[in-house]
Structure 1
Amino acid sequence: MVASVGLVFGLSASSAPMAQAGVYSATISGTYTVGETLTAASSGFAGSVVYTWYVHPDGTSSGTYLAQGATYVLTSSETGKYISIIAADSDDPMIMRSSSINGPVEAASSPVFTPGMPEVYGTAQVGKPLVSWEGNWTPEPDSYAYQWLRDDAQISGASSDSYVIQAADLGHQLSLKVTASKTGYEAASATSEKTAVVQAAPSATLTSVSATSAVIRSGKCVPISVKAAYQVPSSVADQLSKLSVSATVRNAKHAKIGTVTLTGTATALTGTMATTFQWCGGDKLGKVTFSSWKGTWTGSQTYAPASRVETFPASGTITSTKTATAWVRTIVRFRQAQVSSAGKKRTATARFVAYRPKKQDWTGVGKGAVVTVEKKVGDHWAKVTTAKTDLAGRVAATWKASHKATYRLVWAGSGSKRAKMSRTIAG
């Protein structure tokens, strides 16, 4: 507020002539704000007038010389102080008049923006990008600063004009605060409208998993081929860069025997990954399962609102309740297999031994294993008889035949642990 305080001379502490009584007057016009121009005026003087400007610490104290002239531009050093003038007749300096002491001088206020309304584009879904437009600001700012908000609270590190929605945003609303800056102007901010509540992203899935059974013939270990087919929704990525999934491996006793990891680097949203798992002798023959699948994928997605094309990183998780099953069986061999004859009587003998991967040796298959004798008839085999092994794995099968033929001994396998096989013999 500008105050006019009395008709006090605007003089310094030194002596000065008294103001002349009569019709003389001195006034100041203008706005008492730093940077503004004040104009001196007078009346009653016969000749030209000389104006001297004074600054006062308050509205009643004597003043200190500032300058001479018909106008004066207020500076920041006068902030909070008061101003006066003395008008003097140039022909007779003893004829003078002081103005009121006016003030206080206020600090200059920077011009302000007419803010624009920021806008946010994109789908409110975890993993999706949001891009922005600052809106129309007047005048055009020199620069913008950005701050993304989650339910009106700042998101740490989210200070660019785009944002990829994170898992922490699920169930919340997002908005963007834009702050504009320009030399000579006070910074100003405006905030966009909030997005819809952020939803979860569709999950990538494993469409199938499989494992190939294996027969161990030597050594302690045998590889099991494992495959997994995947599908990533096109709504969360345009292309992939890497996938990785792992599964827990368990033996026939359901004990964990390891973990298998499959990776892929294809860019297509669907495909198949493959690897091998090394089964070793101490892992128990029989059933092997691959379950509890989980993993991650990374890729990219392109977003193009209002002719603005941007590519953003994309990522997500993969889970599956599917189970792949394989069987690890050991090889069985026939030893001393032969057919003997006595008239029309035929007798086939052999010893069946199975490989033991843990000890890397061979042992009899044991008592009660069924062995089938088959005869070749044309292009197929016909059953002749069956026999069972003894404790040492030996078998002896007898049948009648009128002439020689080609026979084979067939081992049907023993469930989950021993592989099926056969051996051809003449008799």
Structure 2
Amino acid sequence: MSSISEMKWDVVVIGAGMAGLTASVYLARAGRKVLLLEKAVEPGGRAATKNIAGSWMNLGPHALYKTALGILQEVGVTPTGAMPKPNSLLIYKQPKGGDIALPLFQFLLGSFLKWSEKTQLIRFYAQMRKEDTSILQNVSLEKYLETRLPSPRVRNAVLALIRTSTYCSAPDLLSAGAAIVQLQHGQVLYVDGGWRTLVDPLKEQALAAGVTIRCGCPVRTITGNVPEMSVSLKDGVLLKAHQVLSTVGPKETLALLDPALQPEDAAIFEQLVPIQAACLDLVMTEMPNPKTTFAMGADYPWYFSNHSAIAKFSDNPKQMVVHVMKYLRPGEDSNSKQDEHELEQFLDLIQPRWRLHVVQRRFLPHLLVSHAVVDAASGGYAGRPGPVVKGRKGLFVAGDWVGAEGMLLGASLASAKSAAHCIINGKDHSKEGNSLGA
């Protein structure tokens, strides 16, 4: 540790998740001397994958949007995997009580929907594909759908698809513009071997470019301004840097700053509301209903997917990785025991006797999905901070809560590239607020 404290780094990057690793590659390839710090014992953050009972399991269900492939390929990562198949179920409440699981073809072609409802759905998707999302950033998804889909049943089916693509169960908060972009670019991959197959080659690319990576190094404070900045670690080590890039969450970043940002500069960080989910992750030997590989709640914020039906997560052909999830309402408390019981009942409906085939289970009651809802009231993407931190010259941020582009991993990668380019091009204060400064 003393060797890294004896040097002055061009950039200290805090957080070795996907954003931190990606930004460090761009910076090092541009000739910057980069130190990448991670508080955990290994890189990856929320993209970490664990081997559980001989199967590789992500932290909850992960899907890689194909729109993220461009940046991954730029930094030398080419994922392998496959697209989910459209043989899904939609779960509706029945008027007289109980639930009904409708295969997608039956929902579209059967008698469940009236002809007028089918027409609504067809018209919506035809218009959605060419929608100008820039004018919908400050319109809530709830308001947008109510003006286009009078039928509650059709509206809930569309909401189920949007929950799956955004991981957000708050149509009254979520920007319609941001949500529709996710639907327009909705092709995803389930990645073979889990997301460690993204993290590991990213780490290799960073090391090959000359990045110094230190894990088990939690940060205590960030002080100073460009070109004299300091990062102190919780073990007392003091690091010197010209500039600092934080890829941890918004509130975590604010907590590291000494002195604190002025209230008017901190406000854009503080207003962000994280998205969480309750996840039941399973390693199983078989599925009672093997043809059911994907299901969504139309009247419930539920999700089910047998990821092993699409991609490879184990060398054991008799084992499969299954994820069941409840999208939690952002900003509200939830009952963990009730959520777990609800997910078990959901599985009882679509996979009866599933308990007989469980090898191992893991319940994550409050899994952090994203650090921020793309909030319509704040202007959609425009309500997120840009990579250049106003009020602290030399400090930059990246992550799924930063920048005017994308959600989830897409936002993380885009903001990581943007922040790196701002540093490389010397844009440490000329482009503040929400800018992508390429």
Band the TM-score falls in, shorter-chain normalisation: under 0.3
Query: Greater relative contact order: 1 or 2 (C-alpha under 8 angstroms, separation 6 or more)?
Result: 2
TM-score by length of 2: 0.17
Specify which structure has the higher proportion of helix.
Answer: 2
Bigger radius of gyration, 1 or 2? 1
Specify which structure has the higher proportion of strand.
Answer: 1
TM-score by length of 1: 0.17
